[in-house]
Amino acid sequence: MTLDTDLGIALDASHGQGFRFTKDEFGGPRFVKTVGEFTIPVDFLTEQPPATKGTALVDDVPANILPGINRALASARKVVVKGVDLHGARQELTVRVCEVGPFLALKLRAFAWRQAPKDAFDILYTLLHYDRGTQAAVAAFGEEVRVGNPACQDATVCLNQHFRDEQSSAPVRAATFVLGQLAAGESADLRIQRLQIQQEMVDAGRLLRSVGGR
């Protein structure tokens, strides 16, 4: 499963919740909070067409420009989340989460830009475990292409460049995320597991391309 969760929060986080301002690996604005051994990053995102990258001020807060974020906000669904908050209190809240079509478009765009192994695996995990089924997830991505989600231009390029065969970037990186770097003398069992993940990624790319117009 994925190791992080992307959250939208109120702009007073730095005051009420102890977040401090810093920058991400690309120099963009980010707020972070350390809880025990874990660092919680918070990125502020916005859309500013025709710009497709960089930063913009929103209510005096610097935010990363991310095409597709408006579609994610407009089509979000509500789910109930249970857990412990930053103060240690148990909570049960209804939150809005990104629906699968915009999520896949954003993840594919992210992989196109940074080719992070986690992004590749997130795409596969989402298709395999979406609560309404793989075909519904694929159809939802196709709908984003149809309505002109601005993230889909990079997403479809990514599918054509990085998902074509088992040795393409996305399949190799997804397997690396799960099993670690390929090492000399790796066991036959691990090689089979690695190949299975790579083949699943190729299949995922073929399904998404079938509705992506390429």
Copy the structure tokens of residue 103.
């999520």
Pairing of strands 45-46, 38-42: unpaired
CA-wise closest residue to 165 among 195, 127, 130, 131 = 195
Residue 48 φ then ψ, to 5°? -140, 65
**Span 171-192, average pLDDT:** 92
What residue spans define the domains of the chain? 13-97, 100-211
* pLDDT above 90: percentage of residues in the chain: 62
134 vs 2: which has the higher pLDDT: 134
| Residue 214 confidence class, pLDDT cut points 50, 70, 90 | low
Alpha carbon of 35 to those of 18, 38, 59, 119, 187: distances in Å? 10, 5, 27, 24, 38
| Residue 206 confidence class, pLDDT cut points 50, 70, 90 | very high
List, as one string, the DSSP characters of 97-114.
Answer: E--HHHHHHHHHHHHHHH
| Residue 162 confidence class, pLDDT cut points 50, 70, 90 | very high
Provide the pLDDT for residue 59: 73
Name residues whose C-beta falls within 8 Å of residue 3's C-beta, 6 or more positions apart in sequence: 118
Provide the pLDDT for residue 6: 55
Provide the pLDDT for residue 39: 79
User: pLDDT for 68-82, tens place per residue?
Assistant: 999 999 999 999 999
Global model pTM greater than 0.75: yes
| Residue 14 confidence class, pLDDT cut points 50, 70, 90 | very low
The CA distance from 140 to 200, in Å, is: 19
Residue 35 has pLDDT above 80, yes or no: no
Name the residue type at position 123.
Answer: I
Buried b (16+ CB within 10 A) or exposed e, 85-118: eeeeeeeeeeeebbbbbbbbbbbbbbbbeeeebb
Rg of the chain in Å (alpha carbons): 18
The CA distance from 151 to 154, in Å, is: 6
3-state secondary structure of 83: strand
Residue 176 near residue 133 (C-beta atoms within 8 A): no
3-state secondary structure of 163: coil
Residue 21 near residue 29 (C-beta atoms within 8 A): yes
Cis, peptide link before residue 50, omega less than 30° from 0:
yes
Q: What is the chain's mean pLDDT, rounded?
A: 87
User: pLDDT for 38-66, tens place per residue?
Assistant: 778 877 788 888 888 888 877 777 788 88
